Amino acid sequence: MVKNKIKVLLVDDSAVVRQALAKVFSLAPDIEVIGSVIDPIFAMQRMKKQWPDVIVLDVEMPRMDGITFLKKIMAERPTPVLICSTLTMKGSETTMQALCAGAVDIINKPTIGVKGFLQESAELLIDTVRGAACANLKTIKKNACRKLQVEPKLTADAMLAPGSTSMAESTDKVVAIGTSTGGTQALELVLPNLPRVVPGIVVVQHMPEKFTRSFAERLNSISLLDIKEASDKDRVIPGRALIAPGGKHMLLERIGARYYVRIKDGPLVSRHRPSVDVLFRSVAKAAGKNALGIIMTGMGDDGARGLREMFDAGARTLAQDEATSVVYGMPKEAVNHGGVQEVLALHDIPQSILQIFSRAIGNEHLLSRVKER
């Protein structure tokens, strides 16, 4: 009998969706669905009786929309909220609003083929709820994160064979960033605080298909950098940040003196696609000591092995600290794997990037221009 189960409230006007999600969470002995309601009005009534640890929330519902409800919750009693959204452009735009309003993460809304949804998404959904329950929100009590016995996770070997690089140091530099739960907020602090002369940046943010494009567009609108969802064979150049598309792996390749990204299908690696481990391994092989690897907030261990491979290849490596991480999972695992040279608070990461590449940038005065937040 598991004590102190993670209490989950489902808020969605689709009975099929609520049933599918309840079925998934019933597989986890440490998760308990305490309510399943059709809209925020019923949710507020249910929450008067028992407050949940995590809310799984639809965004389009009758009587009160999810964004309004989310803002109300965050103003009155901040609670981890997962947005359950459809894989549509409209859904992705609304979900970006929810993330800005304080939602912790996104999960795909099951529509048809519920049996297949349960088989493919159960482990990821359960881990996402556990990550949300551990979110670093000051006014809620953190729950212990427990793991089920599951099938072994695939490693980056599924996409790219391991191997060292013999590349000499050059003036062409690359920044590789990996992040998950809480990463949307973290990237909104880091990337807009970088100048256009910064080396090319490649980013894996765990996010479902179609949402990454809206996220990249939002980042682009508030940044000096050119930020876009990556396409196959996009060049990695100074002043540009490429976000891995949801549902695809992104790898770095070097042809001559130029870096490119390759966008590929493939199995889930560390239960994710895109996977940080896949990106980091490819950066270790293609860029070696010419790269900087940064791992930030997120649940699980994706990226920990890849960052160690970057470290072993001579790259500089950084990790976000526990105090500023929404979930101190991925950075902690990276530290435990011995691949982290320095642990930094989130607001110090832009400054560190500029310090590391000050010689390549050639403008020392830029160090003083990083905005304080």
The pLDDT-based confidence of 359 (bands split at 50, 70, 90) is low
Going edge to edge, which strands form the sheet with 31-37?
31-37, 6-11, 54-57, 81-85, 105-108
Alpha-carbon distance 28 to 145, whole Å?
A: 12
Q: Confirm whether 6-133 and 156-369 share one CATH topology.
A: yes
Rounded Cα distance, 351 and 70, in Å: 33
Catalytic sites, residue numbers = 180, 206, 302
Contact present, 174 and 297 (Cβ < 8 Å): no
- Token pair for 174: 């690359």
- pLDDT, tens digit, for every residue of 260-300? 999 999 998 988 999 999 999 999 999 999 999 999 999 88
Q: Which pLDDT value is given to residue 256?
A: 86
Per-domain residue ranges of the chain:
6-133, 156-369
How far apart are the C-alpha atoms of 322 and 296, rounded to whole Å?
A: 10
Is the pLDDT reported for residue 140 higher than 50? no
In order of 63, 67, 108, 326, 329, the CA distances from 58 in angstroms are: 13, 9, 10, 22, 26
CA distances from 1 to 8, 25, 29, 123, 134 (A): 18, 16, 8, 20, 20
Name the class of domain 156-369. alpha beta
| Residue positions counted in the chain | 373
The tokens 């000050």 sit on which residue? 358
Which residues have C-beta within 8 Å of that of residue 180, sequence separation ≥ 6? Answer: 105, 131, 205, 206, 272, 276, 297, 298, 299, 300, 302, 327, 329, 330
Instruction: Provide φ and ψ at 114, rounded to 5°.
Output: -60, -35
Task: Report angle CA 76, 79, 83 to the nearest 5 degrees.
Answer: 115
User: Using one digit for the tens of pLDDT, what is the confidence trace for 83-115?
Assistant: 887 755 555 777 788 888 888 888 877 665 556
- Nearest CA among 260, 205, 263 for reference residue 237: 260
* Whether 215 contacts 98, CB under 8 Å: no
Please report the pLDDT score of residue 177 as a whole number.
Answer: 98
What pLDDT score does 169 carry?
53
Q: Is the pLDDT of residue 141 over 50?
A: no
Query: What is the CA angle 68-74-77, rounded to 5?
Result: 125
Q: How confident is the model at residue 168 (pLDDT cuts 50, 70, 90)?
A: low
Question: How many beta carbons lie within 10 A of that of residue 133, not counting itself?
Answer: 26
CATH of domain 6-133: 3.40.50.2300
pLDDT in tens, 2-26: 678 999 999 998 888 888 889 889 9
Buried b (16+ CB within 10 A) or exposed e, 260-276: bbebeebebbbbbbbbb
| pTM check: above 0.85 | no
